[in-house]
Chains A and B, each alone.
Chain A
């Protein structure tokens, strides 16, 4: 069974600085998807960025980028130029390409942004 681990329960960053959130996963599959979701205090889960395992190029979305290391089974999220609105719980998630659509989530990392 696949598992996702986020080893940082809490992280803090100064506004305008850069922060990296860590995620590792375990799977025996070679083809899958990885996601980072953001969950603000209002509880609505929002997709931040996604990565397809067969793509070597790291995904980027404006200030958000990932460092995908397939061999190490690592998928970290880098937030550049942090803004107050980035404060939220961030979840790393795995989805198999071949075994249905369910997302397997990590435990989450709560990010606070200091003005």
Chain B
């Protein structure tokens, strides 16, 4: 079974530029999460989708971050414009709705460096 796929793996941009990350969850997983992991900290949820609907985006900085999951499968996370403090690893995770405990499976992450 293929895992959660993310691209790109690394991205370097200058502040005020825009950037987009892509995530493909495990086949059949209706729930998709984007987490931000700043160096030295645990991941923090940015947004959670169930199918193509948003369940929780309370910690998403909506003035600069946006995310979509149009067909309930792949998802993109965009930052526009980027700030220095956005440097982090962006992790995508997915889970199977209804499964016991709904274990989340993580992708390898996209490491973003904003200069």
**A interface vs B, CB < 8 Å?**
4, 33, 37, 42-47, 50, 52, 91, 93, 95, 100-103, 105-108
Contacts and interface: CB of A to CB of B under 8 A. Distances in A.
Contact of A102 (B42, B56, B107, B109): B56
A103 B106 CA distance: 12
Given A91-B42, A101-B31, A102-B56, A50 B101 contact: yes
Contacts, number: 57
Interface string B68-104: 0000000000000000000001010101000001111
Contacts of B111: 43
Interface residues of B, number: 26
B101 A33 contact: yes
Given A44-B108, A50-B101, A50-B103, A101 B89 contact: no
Contact of A44 (B48, B101, B106): B106
A101 B42 contact: no
B55 interface: yes
Interface of B: 31, 33, 35, 40-45, 48, 55-56, 89, 91, 93, 95, 101-109, 111
B16 to A, nearest CB: 27
A32 B2 CA distance: 29
Contact of B43 (A42, A47, A105): A105
B41 A108 contact: yes
29 contacts: A37-B106, A42-B108, A43-B108, A43-B111, A44-B106, A44-B107, A44-B108, A45-B43, A45-B93, A47-B104, A50-B101, A50-B103, A52-B101, A91-B42, A95-B101, A101-B31, A101-B33, A101-B55, A101-B95, A101-B102, A101-B104, A102-B33, A102-B56, A103-B43, A103-B104, A105-B43, A105-B44, A107-B42, A108-B42
B106 A45 contact: yes
Contacts of A44: 106-109
A52 B102 CA distance: 12
Contact of B45 (A42, A103, A108): A103
